[in-house]
Each structure stands twice: as structure tokens, then as C-alpha cells.
Structure 1
Amino acid sequence: MIQRIQTIYLLIAFIIMGILPFVFPLETSSAGQKTFAMDHMSDMILFGLSAALSLITIFLFKNRKLQFVLGRLNIILNLILLGLFVYHSLSLSGEVATSEKGIGMFLPIFSIVFLVLANKAIKKDEDLVKSVDRLR
């Protein structure tokens, strides 16, 4: 259902994790060579899984409990991706000149914010349905 705010949040999280990794680089070396998410297979798989999970969660609007669980699973997946980025940045292999981090490293943080907002809205809807059911 497009009129629900969590659908908009999940769609933004899908755009952040599905489209923006191809636009923004993860890092730029001192020679000016940009590294994108598609250059590392593990990063690309995690970005793809997160985008697919966001898209699947949008279409599960009738099952709010499963939608909430998938949102939390997506947050955990983004935290793993963020941890992988921190690991990559801290374990540079003998690079003499320092490389510059790109905005692509922060995409999981933006996605986590929108996923948390979506989960809050899903929880709010679930509480509203429970309160209406009590009145019947």
C-alpha cells in the first residue's frame, strides 16, 4: 500500500541500497582510481540482499509482523555491511599514500535510519490494529 509512510521509507532504503552503490564510490585511491561496490563481490552481494529484502518487505503489507521481522533482519544485514566497510578501511594492505573514503561507505547508515523509521511506523500500525480489535 503506497499510502502508508513505511512504504515510502522502505522504498528510500531500496533506492539507497540498490541504486546508489553504483553512483557513489566507496573510496578513492591517491592515484584517483575510484572503487565502487561492484568491485568487491562480498559488498555487492550484501548490497543486493539488503535491496531485495527492502523490496520484498514493501509487498508484505498484509503481514505486519513478518514485515517488522524482515525490517530488523535488514538492519542487521546493514550493520554487517557497515562492519565489513570498517574492516576494509582499517586493514589497508601496505598502501603508502592514504586513500580517501567516499560517501558509499555511509550508505548503510542512511539505510539503517530509514529502516528504523519504517519499523517504527509498522509497530505503530500494529498497535493501532490491536487497539481497534480490543474495542470489538
Structure 2
Amino acid sequence: MIQRIQTIYLLLTFVVIAVLPFVFPLWKLNNDQDYYFMQNQVYVVLLGLLTAITVMSILSYKKRQNQFVMNRLSMILNLILLGLFVFHSLNLSGEALVVSEKGIGMFLPIVAIVLLVLANKAIKKDEDLVKSVDRLR
């Protein structure tokens, strides 16, 4: 399980989705307070769902097709989360309301998507290798 490169990518994705949002704020408010994802229920639900899908994908290392599909679903949810971040930051930009400065936390879904794409490429490579060996039998 751990010796496969896609598992390493998925573990890194887990860290990006489940750990780093607690460390990096999404943006700073005008009163110099950090805005974390916990202050919005939609972000909490999406990140919780993404964490669960990533853990299920890591644990289903014997079923590569299921792992591939779960990673695709996780990519779609990350794109939705990124869209919500961008919508919220653009909707409140211009220093008129509350957003003062964008944080690193807004870009975590992009990092997760890149890691999931790399994991899917490795899964596809493993699947092709298994199919080529089955043809030789």
C-alpha cells in the first residue's frame, strides 16, 4: 500500500485537505483577524467530505478503479470549493466590506487537485501494467 507512489500523493492530499486549512487562513479581514474555513458551514462540510473521500481512496488501494473514481469526485469537489472561495473573495473585494487580504488557504484546493491528478496518473499507469501482464498469460 504505502510503497505505491499514488498512496504518497493521496497522503499528501490528505494533509493539504485535512491539516493545512487549520494552519493557513483563507483571508484577512479589515480588522486584521484571520478568517478560517471553520467560520463558514459550507466550507466545513465540503472539507469534511473531501477528507472522508481521500481516506476512503487511500484505504481502497486494492480496487484501483474505485480509487480512480473517488479521486475524480474529489477533484470535482475541490473545484467547487475553489469556486466558492473565489466567489466569496470577489464578491467582497474592494475593501468595502470585510475581505482585506487573500491568504494562502485559498490556494490549497489547487494543490490538492494537482496531487490528485498525479495520483490518478500513477493509478492509470498501474492499471495499464496489470492489463499488459494479463495479456501475456
**Shorter-chain TM-score category?**
over 0.9
Does the 8 A contact of 2:60 with 2:66 survive in 1? yes
Cα deviations by residue, 1:74-112 (Å, 9 ceiling, x for unpaired): 000000000001110111188537510000000000000
- Counterpart CA distance in 2 for 1:33 and 1:75 is 30
Partner AA of 2:106 in structure 1: M
C-alpha contact 1:37 1:44 (8 A) present in aligned 2: yes
1:122 is aligned to 123
CA distance in 2, matches of 1:133, 1:39: 51
Partner-residue secondary structure (3-state), 1:25 = coil
Which residue does the alignment assign to 1:134?
Answer: 135
- Distance in 1, matches of 2:67 and 2:95, equals 43
The letter for the 1-side match of 2:34 is K
Consecutive unaligned residues in structure 1, runs of 5 or more: none
2:55 matches 1:66: no
Supply the distance in 1 between the matched residues of 2:21 and 2:44 (Cα, whole angstroms): 9
1:30-55, Cα deviation, whole Å (9 max, x unpaired)? 21011001111101111111111111
In the TM superposition, 1:1-136 aligns within 5 A as: 1-92=1-92, 95-96=95-96, 99-136=100-137
User: What is the percentage of aligned positions where both structures have the same residue?
Assistant: 63
**In 1, Cα distance between the equivalents of 2:114 and 2:94?**
34
Residues 93 and 115 of structure 1, relative CA distance in 2, 3 Å threshold: closer
Which runs of at least 4 in structure 1 moved beyond 4 Å after TM superposition?
Answer: none
| Contact in 1 for aligned 2:93/2:100 (Cα 8 Å) | no
The whole-number CA distance in structure 2 between the counterparts of 1:55 and 1:70 is 10
User: Using the alignment, how far apart are the partners of 2:93 and 2:4 within structure 1?
Assistant: 47
Distance in 2 between residues matched to 1:86 and 1:60, nearest whole Å: 32
Alignment RMSD, CA only? 1.4
User: Can you give the 5+ residue segments of structure 2 that lack an aligned partner in the other structure?
Assistant: none
C-alpha distance in 2 between matches for 1:94 and 1:2: 46
* Pairs aligned (count): 136
* Letter paired with 2:90: L
TM-score, structure 2 normalization:
0.95
